[in-house]
Chain A
Amino acid sequence: DAGITQSPRYKITETGRQVTLMCHQTWSHSYMFWYRQDLGHGLRLIYYSAAADITDKGEVPDGYVVSRSKTENFPLTLESATRSQTSVYFCASLLAGEEQFFGPGTRLTVL
């Protein structure tokens, strides 16, 4: 599959559980990003990565963990899910200086 994919597309979990959202891109883009999108807040950056093994916090990193052992994968983990983390999560990637390409999103509900 070419492009950028996310899995799962939909997830329902309970408060306190660990959840991992997957992101995979086939372009070998250096940069990858995780956003969350909530009504009234638009897209907010959670974490980003400039290359394998290089990650940094964005605007709203609390409660999230990322890793990037391979260029093509950028998983996002909620270590102990809370209701406030109910959101739509988008992964994106880009070549330096170009526009970001977004994955289809994961709709996460925390009960």
Chain B
Amino acid sequence: GQNIDQPTEMTATEGAIVQINCTYQTSGFNGLFWYQQHAGEAPTFLSYNVLDGLEEKGRFSSFLSRSKGYSYLLLKELQMKDSASYLCAVRSRSNAGNMLTFGGGTRLMVKP
């Protein structure tokens, strides 16, 4: 089976940097995804890592270490609109059909 862990809640200040961690255990790892979900809305895709290292997209970056089963999402220059849940999801070759297994999500609150 798969196990994905991420913190339940985090709080940060507007303008600051926050790092949201995700650890996973899976066989046949085939990619890690981060999604953003605002309250009452659908998840939207943020980033994808399949190789070790850092992927940067504007204010958001995502890092992967396959040997450690570890990823993080880094949000810089936090804005109030970044208050949302951030979902870590793993794709595995042992899953048929591009299935994703999601962690429970991290609710980020950005304060002024």
Closest A-chain residue to B103, C-beta based? A42
User: Most chain-B Cβ atoms within 10 A of its Cβ — which of A35, A43, A48, A94?
Assistant: A43
Task: Give CA–CA (A48, B100) in the complex, Å.
Answer: 11
Task: Give CA–CA (A50, B102) in the complex, Å.
Answer: 19
Range for the number of chain B residues in contact with chain A: 10 to 19
Answer whether residue A74 sits at the interface, using C-beta atoms and an 8 A cutoff: no
Answer whether residue B44 sits at the interface, using C-beta atoms and an 8 A cutoff: yes
Known A-B contacts A43-B87, A99-B33, A99-B48; the reply to A90 vs B96 at CB < 8 A is no
Known A-B contacts A56-B97, A99-B33; the reply to A40 vs B104 at CB < 8 A is yes
Task: Give CA–CA (A105, B87) in the complex, Å.
Answer: 16
Check A48 against B97 for contact (C-beta < 8 Å): yes
Count: A-B pairs, CB below 8 Å: 49
Binary interface encoding of chain B residues 83-101 relative to chain A, with 1 for a CB under 8 A from any of its CBs, else 0: 0000101000000111111
Write out the residue numbers on chain A whose beta carbons fall within 8 Å of the beta carbon of B41: 104-105
Answer whether residue B7 sits at the interface, using C-beta atoms and an 8 A cutoff: no
Binary interface encoding of chain A residues 21-61 relative to chain B, with 1 for a CB under 8 A from any of its CBs, else 0: 00000000001010100001111110011100000101100
Interface residues of B in 15-62 (CB under 8 A from A): 33, 41-45, 48
Write out the residue numbers on chain A whose beta carbons fall within 8 Å of the beta carbon of B105: 42
Q: How far is the CB of A66 from chain B (nearest CB, A)?
A: 13
Task: Give CA–CA (A44, B100) in the complex, Å.
Answer: 9
Partner of B43, one of A41, A45, A90, A97: A90
Q: How far is the CB of B47 from chain A (nearest CB, A)?
A: 9
Check B42 against A42 for contact (C-beta < 8 Å): no
Partner of B45, one of A33, A40, A59, A101: A101
Check A31 against B43 for contact (C-beta < 8 Å): no
Q: Using a CB–CB distance below 8 Å, which chain A residues touch chain B?
A: 31, 33, 35, 40-45, 48-50, 56, 58-59, 90, 94, 96-97, 99-105
Q: Using a CB–CB distance below 8 Å, which chain B residues touch chain A?
A: 33, 41-45, 48, 87, 89, 96-105
